Amino acid sequence: MKTIMKIIINMKGIIKRVMTTKVKIKFNCVVIASMVLIGASLNSCSKVLDLTPQDAISEDAVWTDPALTQVFVNQIYRESVLTFKDAGYSWGAQTDELYSNFNWCNENEYVLGQATPDNQSSSFPLNYSSTINFWSTLYSTIQKTNIFFQNIEKVDTTGAAADISNMKGEVHFLRALCYFELLKRFGGVPLITKVYTSADKTFTEARASWDETRDYILSEITAAIALLPKAYASSSDNGKATIGACLALKSRLLLYAASPAYNPTNDRSRWQAAADAAKAVIDLGQYALYGEASDQSLNKVFLDPFNSEVIFARVFSGTSFEDRYNTVFRDLSQMVIMAIVPIMSWSKWLKLSK
């Protein structure tokens, strides 16, 4: 009897353990299933959260896809090829020829001899640039050219080696153009060739001399010429830098270098260098005077986009406000009065005040 009771007790223990094991197995199955569902849910959420933004492009994408790299270069064109809006319209009103009845770009400060580095920002609502704005605008663009050269080697060249080589030439030219615009206005400037970030605690670039800045621009032009074509086969590439644009910029730069302001000893070799660069543009055979009748060429040349006289121009995708005021629209000073009279004659067209 005792033996039978022990067997029954043992059987109860076995059954209990079996039932416990089943519960554990069931519980474990539930836990595993739950974890799978949670993992799938998290993975699904991750996919939703990792969607590519439709209104922005990541930096990694720009330096992976040559087409996006070209978009980045196009932005450099937009900022380095200055238009009326970028350049402002204060120069004429800073002379004796005009007076300003608006003072949008602080022209009066020049006329009154009160111009300082602190009052040269535009006060016009559309933020048209004045003299000092050139500095920040162009150095911001130079930063982008440096970013380009820091990253361009990351771009996959498969099937796009020629395009990437051309982009390098374009950006060399645009960096030269930026420094040329700075040189015209400020003389020698700091030559920034690295990418500065917020992590850089100090800025140690000294101001280069006029000649050093000129030489750097020439080196950029030389680098660009080695990579750029004379012309592009497709009209969709109108506005891109070419060898002709490089040589024209070189000629203008060397002409300034030969002028009395920077050539006090009248070194004739400087004049010859400027002439040689200009002749090189002509000898390319890519440009010619506009072929319309002489009495129509002056206006037609502005209405025929990329005619034979155009060496380099900024392209707009549509109607633009950029250059609508790029004419004399201020009042003439009292020294020179333009009078539009019913009977047009040169003697009455320009009348000098007493």
For β-strands 336-338 and 350-352, DSSP reports them as: antiparallel
Domain total of the chain = 2
Report the 10 Å Cβ neighbour count for 252: 15
The pLDDT value given to residue 4: 46
Each residue's pLDDT tens digit, 205-225: 899 999 999 999 999 999 999
**Is 307 inside any structural domain?**
yes
Contacts of 87 (CB under 8 A, 6+ apart): 129, 134
**Is residue 6 domain-shared with residue 139, that is, in the same domain?**
no
Residues in the chain with pLDDT < 50? 2-4, 6-9, 14-15, 18, 23, 25, 27, 125-127, 326, 328-330, 334-354
The pLDDT value given to residue 125: 45
Please name the amino acid found at residue 125: P
The pLDDT value given to residue 78: 86
**Is residue 40 domain-shared with residue 64, that is, in the same domain?**
no
**Is residue 64 domain-shared with residue 43, that is, in the same domain?**
no
Domain that holds residue 174: 59-88+129-323
**Is residue 251 domain-shared with residue 133, that is, in the same domain?**
yes
The pLDDT value given to residue 136: 82
Nearest to 176 by CA among 215, 132, 135: 215
Q: What is the CATH number of the domain that holds 240?
A: 1.25.40.390
**Is residue 134 domain-shared with residue 46, that is, in the same domain?**
no
The pLDDT value given to residue 354: 35
The pLDDT value given to residue 225: 97
The pLDDT value given to residue 61: 82
Total-model pTM = 0.72
Contacts of 111 (CB under 8 A, 6+ apart): 93, 94, 99, 100
